[in-house]
Structure 1
């Protein structure tokens, strides 16, 4: 029970930090490997990879929010705090990561 509460509250923030490190690590690797100069029809390979990571992180964050709402808990306040933490993780992802859509990559 206690581990579930810990995961419920800290999980979204840990996931966000994993997304952050993954996204910018892939960007650094892609810039070094010249993925920004290789193009698919209309888009660089690096941008496609970063947008895929952005989409995956958003989907996983929303899944964490939904999961927080479905947990069977008799403590309604903790459940609500868990949902707020998951919503904060989604919001921080929406603020931090969309730059991969329009900013210069390298």
Structure 2
């Protein structure tokens, strides 16, 4: 990020890991609280919350990546950091399961 290319290397991956924990905690809480049986139209409240959270995580990671590219120096480490951020954003594809997988067992 600004001034520290090493932080730019790991920022998106730390954000991805935090987002994964948030999604997992939200899913467990929602299942325990019965949010999967509360419907808004044809979609459960839990699924809507998980989709909104996953999209928010993607936008935060895109913002981190954009800021790292905008403020980072043109060093080789900064370029590697930009690639690492892109890989973290691609890794959010695993969050797409909130669209079709069963919420609670």
Unaligned runs of 5+ in 2: none
2:97 to 90, 99, 102: 99
TM-score, L = length of structure 2? 0.91
Alpha-carbon shift at residue 61 of structure 1 (Å): 1.1
1:27 aligns with 2:30: no
| Alpha-carbon distance, 1:65 to partner | 1.6
SS at 2:73 equivalent? coil
Distance 1:14 1:56 in 2: 15
Aligned to 1:69: 69
Give the superposition deviation at 1:30: 0.2
| Residue 52 (structure 1) shift | 0.6
CA distance in 2, matches of 1:35, 1:43: 11
Measured in 1, the distance between the counterparts of 2:45 and 2:84 equals: 33
Does residue 85 of the first structure (1) align with residue 84 of the second (2)?
A: yes
Regions of 4+ moved over 6 Å: none
Query: C-alpha separation between the residues in 2 aligned to 1:58 and 1:97?
Result: 9
SS class of match (1:97): helix
What is the CA distance between 1:53 and its match in structure 2?
A: 0.6
Aligned-residue Cα RMSD (Å) equals 1.7
Q: Report what 1:57 is aligned to.
A: 57
